[in-house]
Each structure stands twice: as structure tokens, then as C-alpha cells.
């Protein structure tokens, strides 16, 4: 079936569904300006009173044509645009893209360990910042204002450190093919340790404020239950998948970069407050992942201040190629982003550093696709809780 045929069929199915709305049902638009949609997402709801009968997501309000754009410029120039996919986790985006190009070049084993540990360090800092946004905004979706302020307060420290390292607060262009934009600033490791010591008790406070809050539990436990088989069939990944009880983390499964040398656990949902795979489990998995990211950061800092400490002759750009010349090949690379599996599929061409085809596989797109399955038959207020628990960023949904 061609793309045109798929589009025509989808449009016909949509028109049939809208035309079949009974006199007892109502069609309501939620978004694209609604604050709980976390971006320019439009949800067309078919409701019977307060009960959601069906959900039709409408995308494309933020479309920036990333895939085709990446096919018109070389690999190095694409890196700043990967930052704009999941713009809350830009370090993780560029890390995945850069790993793919380095593997196609065959230089992945030549990257100095200090560079790899710095990459993991900044990616885990960015993972914490992303999860703090997810937890804080989820709290305010449910009606809890204090966690939102606490999360943004602590995230600000991370943003300051990443700005110190890269010169930018959100879109970093820090991880380059073959190396880094620059080595860490002097005393960065010591400042980062100070942040870890400050953040640990703050994280315990945040966990205690929400996780055992009776109102929060009532709004999230047994709501939006995602069975493991449904999560797999829809291609869900990241906290969405792990909250359903599946221990699948690409940092462990694929063992890329220096993650095999680092000790950390993979949190999964347990159905502690309700059913396995409900909204509360998805929230709690993210809280536990922040704790594990703190463990990873501590180990990275220990090595960066020990075996792989800075030296006068260390050049983080030593392996950065002036031009990326690749043989013709197809290659897929994936990495564990805060929201799930981010993948890049490359089709390269001979005698040019511009790829023939680039396809980004954004985790938010697949995770969002399960929303109609989770939202049928729930109250409109519960739909807000379900959507917030998915933690989407429209930058990688629309691309």
C-alpha cells in the first residue's frame, strides 16, 4: 500500500468515525493551546458526558522537516538540529547521532575514555533535567503546585552547569563526531559533586511529597493501565515500557559507550499503589531513574577525577574529522533517551558527506500512539493524568 493510499484510507476512516457520532455524544477539541497537552498537540475527543469514548490525536503543528533537512547538509552540520528533537534532552540526542556516524566511520573504539565519560556525565545530567520537567509538570497537571517549583529550582542548577560546559542552556552542540566541542571547564567536576550532595536530600523530599500523597495516588493509581503486551505492540519504550514491568534499557541491553563499566539498576513498575503499568508506576519509574542517574554521575566523576583526569596535552577534538567520508551502507543506531529509544537510520552514499537518507525514530511518537488505547472509557480529568504520564515532547513527535 502506497503512502497516498494509506493517507486516503486513514482520512476515510476518520470521516466515518466523526460522521458516526450519535446525538448523545459530543466532539471536543483539547489543544493545541491547552496547557496539559504539553505542546501544540490537538486531541479530538468523542465524549458521552464526562466519559471519553474515543481519542483522535492530530499532529503536525510543530513540523520542522528534520529528516529531509538532514539529507541536505553534511553529518557535522546536522548535530545542532538533533538538539531540537527532544529539546529537553539535547545531549542525549546528539550522543545517539554521533555514535552512529562514529560506528560507520569505524572510530568508535578509538574515542578516548575521558571523552566517553564526559559524554555519559552530561547525558545523565540532561536525563535528570528532563525527568524533573516530567515530574514537575505532571504534578501541576494533577493539581500539585509545589513539586513544579521544586523541580524547576533544582533543574536550574543543571542548566547552569551545562551552560558552563557548552555555552548554551538548552541546545548545546557539545558532543561532536570524534570528540567534544571542548573539555570540561576547570573545577567542573568539583562543582558537579557539590550539586550531587545538594540534590540527594532534595530528591528525597520530592519523592516523599508526591509518591505517598493520598490525593496524588487517587489520581494516578489504577488509571491508564498499560499491559506489557500492548506496550510492546505499540512500540513503546523507556519509562513507558519499564513501568509495565519489562526490564528493557538500551544502556544495559546494547551496552554502548562506557555504560557497561558503570553500576546502576534498571527500575521497573511493580504496581505498588494500584495496577502494574498505571500512571503512578510511570511516575515512580522516572523518580527512581533520577536516583540511578545520580549514581552514574558519581561514578563518572570519580573516574574523571582519577584514572581519566584532565591532562595538559588532552585534545577533545583530536579525532574530529574535517570531512565525513563513508562507504555506501545502511545503518541503524539507537540509544536510551529519557523518554525511550531514539534511533537514527542512515542510508549513506559514496564520495559525499551528505547522507542519502536519514530517518529519526523518536520515542515520544510511539509512546503517544498508545494514548487512544489508554484513554477510552475514562473521565476527561483522568485523560489529563494519562497524557501527562506519557511525557511527550512535540519536537520529536512532529520532527
Helices 188-210/279-304 angle, 10° precision: 160
Task: Determine the pLDDT at residue 164.
Answer: 96
pLDDT score recorded for residue 351: 82
Statement: residue 252 has pLDDT above 90: yes
Q: What percent of the chain has pLDDT over 70?
A: 98
Distance CA 85, CA 337 (A): 11
Contacts 24+ apart (CB under 8 A), 76-80: 76/176, 76/177, 76/324, 76/353, 78/358, 79/173, 79/175, 79/176, 79/177, 80/171, 80/173
pLDDT at 17 (0 to 100): 73
> Where in the chain do CATH 1.10.645.10 domains reside?
68-398
| pLDDT value of residue 7 | 63
How many other CB atoms are there within 10 angstroms of residue 270's CB atom? 12
pLDDT for residue 385 is more than 90: yes
**Could you read off the pLDDT of 149-188 as tens digits, one per residue?**
999 999 999 999 999 999 999 999 999 999 999 999 999 9
- The number of angstroms, rounded, from the C-alpha of 285 to the middle of its chain's C-alpha atoms is 14
Taken as a whole, the chain contains a residue count of: 399
Above 80 in pLDDT, residue 272?
A: yes
Mean pLDDT for the chain?
92
Reported confidence tier of residue 241, pLDDT bands at 50, 70, 90: very high
Give residue for cell 545530567: 125
Kindly report the CATH number that applies to the domain delimited by 68-398: 1.10.645.10
At 61-77, the pLDDT tens digits run 888 889 999 999 999 99
pLDDT at 6 over 70: no
Please state the pTM of the whole predicted model.
0.94
The pLDDT of 111-131, averaged and rounded, is 96
CA–CA distance, 271 with 269 (Å, rounded to integer): 6
Strands 340-347 and 330-337: antiparallel
pLDDT tens per residue across span 77-89: 999 999 999 999 9
Amino acid at each position: 500500500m502506497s503512502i497516498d493510499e494509506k493517507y486516503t484510507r486513514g482520512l476515510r476512516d476518520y470521516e466515518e468515525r466523526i460522521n458516526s457520532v450519535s446525538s448523545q455524544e459530543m466532539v471536543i477539541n483539547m489543544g493545541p493551546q491547552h496547557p496539559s497537552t504539553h505542546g501544540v498537540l490537538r486531541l479530538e475527543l468523542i465524549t458521552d458526558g464526562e466519559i471519553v469514548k474515543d481519542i483522535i490525536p492530530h499532529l503536525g503543528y510543530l513540523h520542522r522537516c528534520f529528516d529531509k533537512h538532514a539529507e541536505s547538509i553534511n553529518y557535522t552540520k546536522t548535530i545542532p538540529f538533533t538538539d531540537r528533537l527532544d529539546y529537553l534532552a539535547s545531549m542525549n540526542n546528539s550522543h545517539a547521532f554521533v555514535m552512529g556516524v562514529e560506528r560507520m566511520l569505524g572510530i568508535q573504539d578509538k574515542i578516548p575514555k575521558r571523552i566517553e565519560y564526559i559524554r555519559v556525565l552530561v547525558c545523565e545530567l540532561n536525563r535528570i533535567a528532563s525527568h524533573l520537567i516530567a515530574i514537575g509538570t505532571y504534578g501541576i497537571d494533577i493539581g500539585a503546585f509545589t513539586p513544579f517549583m521544586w523541580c524547576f529550582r533544582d533543574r536550574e542548577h543543571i542548566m547552569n552547569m551545562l551552560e558552563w560546559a557548552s555555552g548554551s542552556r538548552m541546545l548545546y552542540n557539545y558532543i561532536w563526531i570524534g570528540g567534544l566541542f571542548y573539555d570540561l571547564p576547570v573545577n567542573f567536576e568539583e562543582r558537579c559533586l557539590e550539586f550531587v550532595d545538594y540534590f540527594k536530600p532534595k530528591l528525597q523530599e520530592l519523592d516523599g511529597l508526591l509518591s505517598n500523597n493520598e490525593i496524588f495516588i487517587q489520581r494516578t493509581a489504577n488509571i491508564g493501565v498499560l499491559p506489557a503486551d500492548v506496550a510492546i505492540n505499540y512500540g513503546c519504550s523507556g519509562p513507558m515500557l519499564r513501568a509495565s514491568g519489562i526490564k528493557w534499557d538500551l544502556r544495559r541491553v546494547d551496552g554502548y559507550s562506557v555504560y557497561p563499566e558503570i553500576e546502576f539498576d534498571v527500575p521497573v513498575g511493580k504496581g505498588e499503589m494500584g495496577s502494574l503499568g498505571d500512571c503512578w508506576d510511570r511516575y515512580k519509574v522516572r523518580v527512581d531513574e533520577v536516583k540511578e542517574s545520580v549514581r552514574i554521575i558519581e561514578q563518572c566523576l570519580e573516574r574523571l577525577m582519577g584514572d581519566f583526569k584532565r591532562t595538559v596535552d588532552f585534545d577533545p577534538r583530536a579525532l574530529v574529522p574535517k570531512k565525513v567520508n563513508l562507504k555506501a551502507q545502511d545503518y541503524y543506531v539507537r540509544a536510551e533517551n529519557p523518554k525511550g529509544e531514539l534511533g537514527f537510520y542512515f542510508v549513506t552514499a559514496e564520495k559525499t558527506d551528505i547522507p542519502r537518507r536519514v530517518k529519526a525514530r523518536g520515542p515520544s511518537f510511539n509512546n503517544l500512539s498508545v494514548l487512544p488505547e489508554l484513554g477510552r472509557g475514562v473521565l476527561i480529568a483522568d485523560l489529563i493524568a494519562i497524557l501527562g504520564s506519557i511525557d511527550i515532547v512535540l519536537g520529536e513527535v512532529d520532527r
